[in-house]
Structure 1
Amino acid sequence: MSRVSLEGRVAVVTGAARGVGELLARKLSARGVKVALVGLEPDALKQVSARLHSESDHWYADVTDHEAMAEVAERVKERFGRIDIVVANAGVATGGPFVESDPESWRRVIEVNLIGSAVTARAFLPALLESRGYLLQIASLAALTPAPMMSAYCASKSGVEAYAHSLRGEVGHRGVKVGVGYLSWTDTDMVRGADQDDVMRELRQRLPWPSNKTYPLGPAVDRLVEGIERRSAHVYGQWWLRGMQGVRGYLPALIGTVGQREMRRFGDRLDGLRVGLVGAGGAADEEQRSGAATVRK
């Protein structure tokens, strides 16, 4: 598939204050893309925007708030005149046994990762239809492989994968392409935050190779940029994830068997384990909900 030049295009990136979103904004900007940054950390967004090579701006908004995101979409269109690319990247995570999980944190993972992605698409699709643009939905290895101790995250990422596949069929005839980006464990604040819990870190280290590694952020984001250039239906942040598509049908039964063994191994260490939203992004989300605002520049 041939690549298209990104020079002069306008891209919206949610969850742009750090991690995948921040680096993606920087790499798109280096290719001449005008970037609109959306997230919950206005100071961090401002700093990211100031470091970009091309024209940029930033907006504070909760991706689960339809009115706020609709207002952001309107303001971005006014600011840049068009929108060609939207990357639905905002996400949070929690872990631990479902039966003892914090209900609010569990629900919030679904709200941000799944509902927030749909709200993002709903807000920006009118502009993408005008430009015959491209929507990249960031999913995860978690969409391909269910995993014990990650029920909310796996459910949310499986959900956004299915939703994006459905949307692709709805809007393709109108010129809008929809892609799904898959990432394994990548060196971000979210993964580092999850690793702060000894049980979660050890369980991840016991996964089979190559799923037990933490991968550098740069090469993964380079692959996302290439996917945007190609308007790809599937984008794989790590080389081996493409191969998982062919075996994913066998994985639930396998992981169900192996998962029971691992849960027995960790036994009493699981008692009382309650993990809230992890990493700096999770902390920002919890702070936002405790003091709530809507749209702010």
Structure 2
Amino acid sequence: MSDTGPFAGKVALVTGSESGIGRETARVLGESGAVLILNGRNPVRLEQTRRELAAAGLHVVSCVADVTRYADCARLIDTAIGAFGRLDILVTNASISQRAYFADMQPEVFREVLDSNVYGSVYPLKAALPHLLRSRGSVTFISSISALNGMPSGSAYCAGKAAVANLAHTLRLELADTGLHFGVVHIGFTQNDADKRVLDAAGRPVPIAHRPPRWQKTQREVAGLIVDHIRRRRPRTVISALGHLIVLVHTWFPRLGDWIVLTTTRRLKHFYE
């Protein structure tokens, strides 16, 4: 383990860290002193990421696991404990998004998206909870600004991200006397890997909907904010000015918020479809 940085001596597991925001969050945690357990479903890409971070001088192991399967999550946690003897930080980042209206979605596609966002957080945490309680560690659920007020063409994704935000709040109350930190980060529009895909109504992988580049943060910027959230043990972090605007409008002017969304749905269809 590293003996320098704010997370020196800490063991961090980031699910869905073979690519994207998860990879960069793991990188920043490692640069801040933590040792890392990487996770993903694609063994080739996961190994590439492990080698990349190891070449940068970070102490890292990896485990191929599908976080929507509890047995896989138990094996993932066993890998972490077997490698480092403890677990201090869990970031539940792995999830699937969508690009489809509810009326068009096949039921099994809705369930796949919802399961990835809900059980993809619940199962790793259930398997890791005894170790995190022992270390009085930190759990961060990665949510989205779209969970704050809903988003057309994202019903299952928004439902799942809203669920984990409420899960974090509930667990914070249930386990208030344990010293374990529960937080949620609502991420905004972020630059994606070139091969990033989401599911359409029939479950086919398609490119993510258009997002204006000027609205997007880099993966490194988002990862830095997530890691700062963990360091400060904050209950909630909303990333981006748009996210803060959504919170304000949804709280105080909900009809205005709905009018804005419905107007953009009609006038900026490429933003959703």
TM-score, scaled relative to structure 1:
0.78
Structure 1, residues 178-221: CA drift from partner, whole Å, max 9, x if none?
A: 11011111012399646x979943xx55xxxxx98222222111
Residue matched to 2:11: 10
Q: 1:137 is paired with a residue of what secondary structure? A: strand
Residue matched to 1:133: 137
Code of the residue aligned with 2:168 in structure 1: it is: A
How far, CA to CA, are the matches of 1:140 and 1:122 in structure 2?
Answer: 22
How far, CA to CA, are the matches of 1:8 and 1:154 in structure 2?
Answer: 36
- 5+ residue gaps, structure 1: 206-210, 276-297
How far, CA to CA, are the matches of 2:140 and 2:90 in structure 1?
Answer: 6
Structure 1, residues 37-65: CA drift from partner, whole Å, max 9, x if none?
A: 11111121112122222221101111111
Residue correspondence of structure 1 range 78-227 to structure 2 within 5 A: 78-189=82-193, 193=197, 200-201=209-210, 213-227=215-229
Deviation larger for 112-121 or 4-13: 4-13
**TM-superposed deviation, 1:96:** 2.1
Code of the residue aligned with 2:163 in structure 1: it is: G
Please say if residues 145 and 251 of structure 1, whose CA atoms lie closer than 8 Å, have aligned partners that are also in contact. no
Deviation larger for 26-35 or 10-19: 26-35
- 5+ residue gaps, structure 2: 199-204
Structure 1, residues 206-248: CA drift from partner, whole Å, max 9, x if none?
A: xxxxx98222222111111111111211223325534543432
Please say if residues 23 and 218 of structure 1, whose CA atoms lie closer than 8 Å, have aligned partners that are also in contact. yes
How far, CA to CA, are the matches of 1:214 and 1:192 in structure 2?
Answer: 15
Are residue 36 (structure 1) and residue 25 (structure 2) matched?
Answer: no
Superposition CA RMSD, Å: 2.9
Q: Structure 1 pair 220/191, CA: closer, same or farther in 2 (3 Å)?
A: farther
Residue identity (%): 31
Please say if residues 13 and 36 of structure 2, whose CA atoms lie closer than 8 Å, have aligned partners that are also in contact. yes
**TM-superposed deviation, 1:165:** 0.9
Structure 1, residues 56-99: CA drift from partner, whole Å, max 9, x if none?
A: 11011111111110122122112101000000000111122211
Number of residue pairs matched? 259
How far, CA to CA, are the matches of 1:82 and 1:104 in structure 2?
Answer: 37
TM-score, scaled relative to structure 2:
0.84
Q: Structure 1 pair 198/94, CA: closer, same or farther in 2 (3 Å)?
A: closer
Structure with higher RCO (Cα < 8 A, 6+ apart)? 1
Please say if residues 92 and 190 of structure 1, whose CA atoms lie closer than 8 Å, have aligned partners that are also in contact. no
Structure 1, residues 144-202: CA drift from partner, whole Å, max 9, x if none?
A: 121111111111111111111111112231110011011111012399646x979943x
Deviation larger for 238-247 or 93-102: 238-247
How far, CA to CA, are the matches of 2:24 and 2:46 in structure 1?
Answer: 12
Q: 1:186 is paired with a residue of what secondary structure? A: coil
Please say if residues 93 and 190 of structure 1, whose CA atoms lie closer than 8 Å, have aligned partners that are also in contact. no
Please say if residues 146 and 252 of structure 1, whose CA atoms lie closer than 8 Å, have aligned partners that are also in contact. no
Are residue 247 (structure 1) and residue 256 (structure 2) matched?
Answer: no
How far, CA to CA, are the matches of 2:188 and 2:139 in structure 1?
Answer: 20
Residue correspondence of structure 1 range 239-278 to structure 2 within 5 A: 239=241, 241-242=243-244, 244-250=246-252, 253-264=255-266
Q: Structure 1 pair 94/173, CA: closer, same or farther in 2 (3 Å)?
A: same
Residue matched to 2:24: 23
Residue matched to 1:288: none
Q: Structure 1 pair 193/116, CA: closer, same or farther in 2 (3 Å)?
A: closer
How far, CA to CA, are the matches of 1:20 and 1:54 in structure 2?
Answer: 17
Deviation larger for 11-20 or 223-232: 223-232
Code of the residue aligned with 2:188 in structure 1: it is: S
Equivalent of 2:62, from 58, 61, 66? Answer: 58
How far, CA to CA, are the matches of 1:165 and 1:38 in structure 2?
Answer: 25
**TM-superposed deviation, 1:28:** 1.1
